[in-house]
């Protein structure tokens, strides 16, 4: 299949790994920003294939994971009300709020429906004019344009019983906040290719210069990620800090002008809270004034909600790259996909979910990595080893 098989070629992966080993002379800590990249890294054992000098830190790149608890509780409140049809993508239904989730609301009689597009929710609103239909709009720059278009269509077609519960966030301000943290160890970034395919790369050069870090736009297949690491390490070894586009088959400097125009029409930039991190200035979108009638927060007046994170959940540290999932005391014991304490365990892009799914159950520093033969003998359903012959790249 085009752009899949050739980007998992083990011979090319070995060549890239050899180049990285020949280049690196000292330890470097790189952060991948996207949860999809995190899952690819763990699934294919890329972090174990890399030389021990290179540490990959998992960033806040899971849109479900960073949706704040307050917003989850607002969704639960709205979904519980009579006459409401609450629509969401499926990965939000098990995300824990304060004491319950959307699955439990549905079990208690709430009309909670899984949809595969925001336009599905708009169609439901057309078919049920006597009901209020709410779509839970979350995510980064990648999912914001279709949600914006749906609200635009609702206004254009005068579908007044449709509203959007908005929790959209923006990646560049999050990178800025990460670099300003006193505990930050990140020395370079692998930027998310799908985000840049929408927004372009214009916001990144200032970040690279301000924080003296290279930023390399990468894709999601093993060779994409290895090429991103290679370019980032070359810059670090040379003392450079520029923006490079290693995903040119999908990303242009200008991004998608039509999507950007739709975002500019429907949304406006605002401060936004990130779950486990806190409020980051100018890091989100909300509906602009002309679309306020379709704002679910305004329509349902969900305010004054008391939120409480579980004390034993350390997902905030995971999202900030300060902790690997398997270094959390609750990981795999009191926190599992069936009984998650935080969104990082239940989301399909969460780092904790990746570590659990691909059986990274034991915490280990790069210096403590077992030899490839030991890992190959572990018998996991998806091999994650430090040798190309035994890895999922083979």
Token pair, residue 295, equals 């704002």
Q: Give the pLDDT band (50/70/90) at residue 3.
A: low
Q: Give the pLDDT band (50/70/90) at residue 270.
A: very high
Q: Which helix (H) or strand (E) holds 54?
A: strand 54-58
How much is the pTM? 0.86
Phi, psi of 191 (to 5 degrees): -80, 150
Give the per-residue pLDDT at 308: 73
User: For 121-173, how does the pLDDT look when each residue is reduced to its tens digit (9 = 90+)?
Assistant: 999 999 999 999 999 999 999 999 999 999 999 999 999 999 999 999 999 99
Bridge partners (DSSP) listed for residue 372: none
Q: Give the pLDDT band (50/70/90) at residue 8.
A: confident
DSSP assignment of 291-343 equals GGGGBHHHHHT---------TT--HHHHHTTSS-GGGSTTBTTTB-SSS-SSH
**How close are the terminal C-alpha atoms of the chain, in Å?**
17
Confidence check: pLDDT of 375 > 60: no
Confidence check: pLDDT of 366 > 80: no
DSSP structural state of residue 130: T
Q: Give the pLDDT band (50/70/90) at residue 394.
A: very low
Token pair, residue 294, equals 């379709």
Contact 350, 365 (CB under 8 A): no
Can you tell me the distance from the alpha carbon of 213 to that of 246, in angstroms, rounded to the nearest whole number? 16
Q: At what angle do helices 144-156 and 118-127 cross, to 10 degrees?
A: 20
Bridge partners (DSSP) listed for residue 134: 86, 163
Residue with structure tokens 């021990």? 52
Q: What distance separates the 2 farthest-apart alpha carbons in the chain?
A: 66
Confidence check: pLDDT of 367 > 70: no
Query: Counting every residue, how long is the chain?
Result: 394
Give the per-residue pLDDT at 89: 94
User: For 308-351, how does the pLDDT look when each residue is reduced to its tens digit (9 = 90+)?
Assistant: 777 888 988 898 888 899 999 999 999 998 888 888 998 888 99
Cα→Cα distances 306→74, 105, 352, 377, Å: 10, 18, 26, 48
Q: Give the pLDDT band (50/70/90) at residue 285.
A: very high
Contact 52, 367 (CB under 8 A): yes
Contact 241, 189 (CB under 8 A): no
Name the nearest CA neighbour of 118 among 70, 84, 154.
Answer: 154
């Amino acid at each position: 299949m085009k752009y899949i098989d050739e980007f998992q070629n083990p011979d090319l992966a070995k060549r890239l790994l050899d180049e990285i080993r020949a280049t690196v002379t000292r330890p470097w800590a790189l952060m991948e920003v996207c949860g999809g990249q995190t899952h690819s890294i763990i699934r294919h054992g890329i972090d174990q294939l890399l030389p021990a000098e290179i540490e990959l830190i998992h960033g806040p790149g899971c849109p479900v994971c960073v949706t704040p608890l307050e917003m989850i509780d607002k969704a639960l409140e709205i979904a519980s009300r009579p006459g409401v049809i609450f629509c969401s993508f499926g990965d939000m239904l098990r995300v824990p709020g304060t004491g319950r989730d959307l699955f439990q609301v549905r079990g208690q009689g709430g009309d909670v429906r899984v949809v595969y597009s925001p336009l599905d929710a708009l169609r439901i609103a057309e078919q049920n004019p006597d009901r209020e239909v709410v779509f839970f709009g979350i995510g980064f720059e990648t999912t914001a344009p279709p949600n914006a278009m749906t609200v635009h269509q609702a206004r254009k077609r005068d579908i007044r019983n449709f509203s959007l519960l908005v929790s959209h966030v923006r990646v560049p301000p999050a990178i800025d906040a990460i670099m300003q943290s006193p505990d930050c160890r990140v020395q370079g970034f692998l930027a998310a290719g799908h985000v840049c395919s929408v927004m372009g790369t214009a916001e990144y050069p200032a970040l690279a210069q301000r924080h003296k870090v290279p930023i390399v736009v990468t894709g999601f297949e093993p060779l994409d990620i290895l090429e991103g690491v290679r370019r980032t390490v070359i810059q670090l070894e040379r003392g450079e800090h520029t923006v490079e586009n290693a995903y040119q088959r999908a990303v242009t400097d200008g991004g998608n002008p039509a999507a950007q125009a739709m975002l500019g029409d429907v949304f406006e930039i605002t401060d936004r809270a990130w779950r486990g991190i806190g409020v980051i200035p100018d890091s989100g979108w909300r509906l602009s004034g002309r679309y306020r009638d379709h704002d679910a927060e305004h329509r349902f007046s969900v305010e004054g909600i008391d939120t409480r994170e579980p004390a034993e959940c350390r997902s905030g540290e995971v999202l900030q790259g300060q902790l690997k999932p398997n270094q959390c005391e609750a990981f795999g014991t009191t926190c599992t996909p069936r009984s998650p304490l935080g969104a990082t365990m239940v989301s399909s892009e969460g780092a904790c979910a990746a570590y659990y799914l691909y059986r990274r159950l034991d915490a280990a520093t790069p210096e403590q990595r077992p030899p490839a033969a030991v890992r190959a003998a572990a018998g996991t359903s998806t091999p994650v080893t430090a040798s190309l012959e035994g890895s999922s790249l083979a």
